[in-house]
A = this chain, B = another copy of it.
Amino acid sequence: MHFNLFIIDTGHHEASWRLPGSEPLAHIDVGYHERLARVAEAARFDSVFLADTPVLWNDPGRRPSGRLEPLTLLTALARATRRIGLIATASTSYNDPFNLARRLASLDHISEGRAGWNIVTTAGDDAARNFGLDAQPAHAERYQRAGEFVEVCRKLWDSWEDDAIVADAGRGVHAEASRVHPIDHEGRFFRVRGPLNLPRSPQGHPLLVQAGSSEDGKRFAARHAEAVFTAQQTLAEAQAFYADLKRRAALAGRDPDGIKILPGLVPVLGSTESEALALEAELDRLILAEHARDRLAALLRVEPSRLALDGPLPDDLPAEDEIEGAKSRYTLIVELGRRERLTVRQLIGRLGGGRGHRTFAGTPEQVADTIEYWGAHGAADGFNIMPAVLPSGLELFAEQVVPLLQRRGLMRRDYEGATLREHYGLARPASRYAAPPPEPVTAGGPAFHLATRES
């Protein structure tokens, strides 16, 4: 199975920074992130991942807010590690494809083939207001732009053939111009001439990751994603999502095994079950209910005063198709509250750990059991591990859960490949502009071939 570490400063629980010993400047501390990435690499995770949105989306009082830009931070992590994959979130609504394709390819070069891109369309009017708009573009519009954005990036990533560089000093020819191609893209959202101003990167292009589970999101994932992060509360829902997405990928003409599905899991660990539950209770006690209610109200598009802390969710919440952003997260939260008949206060506790991801308080054996069970029952190709508290939750996971997973054959004991794509068992894509490779004749080849250069 595949394991991604989702890093968020002091942990996924919003009150984690209030625990004794937390590092209050973790969110802007590169050394802190390097230490986490090294622990994850020593534990043989496939990758680390950083979420992002181009807006200050928290009340800065509530928890550490305003983080280092992910592609920038991951470049530092690339040099502090050797094998683990590095997945950055970047928005297709508030970037240009030329610049973003270049930056992602730069990280892929610098990390020697370990870059991944979590493709997001960025929900919310607040983000739009940092980019000259009054309100966000409609959900469907954002996804249409995202589709074309990825298409442009892929053309740019293909624009240098792998063997374009010949470095023939005698002739004075560094690259063969005939193997470097303009892309001449003209679409509804973008006109981009190309080629990219960077030779093709070790993975051909970064691993493409997606995380929205709305109808538009699933359609997009089936077409483009090579890995999917998803929030799933129950086994049955996770199985349905898994089967649906694999089926959609097959219908789109893709190998269903070429899209890896990783539900989020927020482990709250203790050496006994009661220790784990005590930590969970302590964390929930530290949530400031007023803050959390305001935030839940914003997600649900209701006035905060309509949410009584000790009452159930209101009956008259909007339907998902009236929501213009974060659709699938909206539905998950409403269904969780109703299915388990939670009060607003209880729902806040459940969301404090992972904003909709599955929180699991228990012993290392119990965590390993649930991972194995979901994997064996068609619900997951792996997990997006989101420790409630960092670094301790990662350290405990690495020390106590990983050895169990390794003994059960669910997690690698050492890296076999060098690239993120190899960790996830995915092929390196060929450039669309390259002629099919000739039959091999001898052991020779071009003097400088990026895919095979020594690291």
Nearest residue, chain B, Cβ from A64: B174
How far, in angstroms, from A61 to B176 measured CA to CA in the complex? 6
Using A131-B96, A195-B56 as known contacts, say yes or no to A103 and B72 having CB atoms under 8 A apart: yes
Q: How far is the CB of A295 from chain B (nearest CB, A)?
A: 14
Interface centre among A68, A130, A286 (most CB of B within 10 A): A130
A57 at the interface (CB under 8 A from B): yes
Interface residues of A in 172-205 (CB under 8 A from B): 172-177, 180, 190-199
Q: Which of B110, B288, B448, B450 is A76 in contact with, Cβ under 8 Å? A: B110
Asked whether A197 and B165 contact (CB < 8 A) given A62-B174, A80-B79, A96-B131, the answer is: no
Q: Is the CB of A18 within 8 A of B132?
A: no
Query: In the docked arrangement, what's the CA distance between A389 and B107, Å?
Result: 26
A92 to chain B, nearest CB (A): 13
Taking the complex as formed, is A71 at the interface, i.e. its CB lies under 8 A from any CB of chain B? yes
Find A65's partner among B73, B102, B106, B175 (CB 8 Å cutoff). B175
Indicate whether A17 reaches chain B with its CB closer than 8 angstroms.
yes
Which residues in B have their C-beta under 8 angstroms from that of A199? 28, 66
Residue of B25, B98, B169, B192 touching A165 (CB-CB under 8 A): B25
A172:B286 contact, CB within 8 angstroms: yes
Contacts of A195 in B (CB 8 A): 56, 66
Verify if A129 is at the interface (C-beta below 8 Å from B).
Answer: yes
Chain A interface helix/strand/loop/mixed:
loop
* Residue count of chain A within 8 Å CB distance of chain B: 78
A333 within 8 A of B: no
Interface presence of A49 (CB below 8 A): no
Taken residue by residue from 26 to 68, chain A's Cβ proximity to chain B (1 for < 8 Å, 0 otherwise) reads as: 0010100000000000000000000001111101111111111
User: In this assembly, does A275 line the interface, its C-beta being within 8 Å of a C-beta of chain B?
Assistant: no
B173 to A73, Cβ gap below 8 A? no
How far does the Cβ of A200 sit from chain B's closest Cβ, in whole Å? 10
Whether A453 sits at the interface, judged by CB under 8 Å, is yes
Asked if A99 and B54 make an inter-chain contact with CB atoms under 8 angstroms apart, the answer reads yes
Q: State how many angstroms separate the Cβ of A420 from the closest Cβ of chain B.
A: 17
A195, B129: Cα distance in complex, Å: 11
Give 7 nearest A-B pairs by CB, closest first.
A24-B167, A60-B175, A129-B193, A75-B75, A56-B197, A72-B106, A69-B106
